[in-house]
Amino acid sequence: MVKVYASSVIEAPPDRVWSILRDFNGLPRWHPLIEASRIENDEPADKVGCIRNFTLQDGGVIREQLLTLSDFDYVCTYSILSSPMGVQNYQATLRLVPVTDGGRTFVEWSAEFECDPGREDELRRQIGQGVFQTGFDSLKGLVGG
């Protein structure tokens, strides 16, 4: 099992950050790699079990299922159902933690998955830096910090 972890501090309170991240269909709003997204079967974007189907800027299509969503704990977990990345059994968690000193937010994004032997380091970098950190940087620009 390959594990990827990234974290950052955002200069905005958790409620403001969460109002963006909790929208399972909102990736195009805050992540620059995402061109378009829709929730299949017209289900609500906060319904556990819903499936988002999104298109990357390079034309790739990814389908992910929402597994947990907690407004109390500021956490969501999802799995990849299909993707051009070559990962299997992919599960990720996005979590916010209040930083009480200054009203900031500690954000962490982690994933575990399987892949073909020899691709572990490449995918660790691609997901950790290319997806997670890129998302954090864009989110900071959107909410501040």
Q: What is the per-residue pLDDT across 80-111, written as a single tens digit (0 to 9) for each?
A: 999 999 999 999 999 999 999 889 999 999 99
Residue range 47-71: mean pLDDT, rounded: 97
DSSP letter at 41? G
Q: How far apart are CA 111 and CA 109, in angstroms?
A: 7
Q: Are strands 34-39 and 75-82 parallel, antiparallel or unpaired?
A: unpaired
- Residue 108 confidence (pLDDT): 98
The confidence band for 145, taking pLDDT boundaries of 50, 70 and 90, is: low
The CATH number fitting domain 2-143, selected from 3.40.50.410, 3.40.50.300, 3.40.50.2300, 3.30.530.20? 3.30.530.20
Q: Give the CA angle between residues 88, 33, 112 to the nearest 5°.
A: 25
- Residue 33 confidence (pLDDT): 94
Residue range 14-19: mean pLDDT, rounded: 96
The confidence band for 37, taking pLDDT boundaries of 50, 70 and 90, is: very high
Average pLDDT, the chain: 96
The confidence band for 144, taking pLDDT boundaries of 50, 70 and 90, is: confident
Query: Which of these, 7, 48, 4, lies nearest to 137 by C-alpha position?
Result: 7
Position of tokens 């990827």?
A: 4
Give 67-77 pLDDT, tens digit per residue.
Answer: 999 999 999 99
